[in-house]
Amino acid sequence: MATDSGSVQRVHDGRSDAHATGTVNSVDAAAHKINLSHGPIPALGWPAMTMDFAVAPSVDLSRIKPGARVNVSLEKGKGGMYEVQSVQPAGGAR
C-alpha cells in the first residue's frame, strides 16, 4: 500500500522483525500510532525517513513523549505493513 513514490521495499522477507532508532515526533494514542523520524533500517532496505507507524495494542503509549529518542522493534503485520511491537528509551546512543 505504499503510495509515496514507491519507496517502501520488501527486502526483509526472510525474517519478520527489524529494529530502528529514531525520534518521536507525535503520538496519537486514540489511533494507536506514532510518527517517528528514524535512521536507516538496513534489514529492510529503508533509508532514514519520517513516517507514521501503527503500534501494537500491548505498547503503552502514555509513557512515549514527542522529542524522545527511542529504539523500536518492528514486525510485519498481517497486511504486510510494519507495526511497532516495542519502544524503549534510546538513552544517549546515536
Are the C-beta atoms of residues 27 and 34 closer than 8 Å to each other?
yes
Q: Is residue 2 part of a domain?
A: no
Which pLDDT value is given to residue 91? 75
Q: What is the mean pLDDT of the chain?
A: 84
Which pLDDT value is given to residue 37? 98
Q: Is residue 1 part of a domain?
A: no
And the C-alpha cell for 74? Answer: 518492528
Name the domain count of the chain.
Answer: 1
Cα–Cα nearest to 54, from 23, 22, 76, 71: 76
State the CATH number of the domain containing residue 81: 2.40.50.320
Q: Is residue 26 part of a domain?
A: yes
Structural domain of 81: 17-89
Q: Is residue 79 part of a domain?
A: yes
pTM of the model: 0.77
Which pLDDT value is given to residue 52? 96
Question: What pLDDT, in 10s, does the model give residues 48-85?
Answer: 999 999 999 999 999 999 999 999 999 998 888 999 99
* pLDDT for 4 beyond 70: no
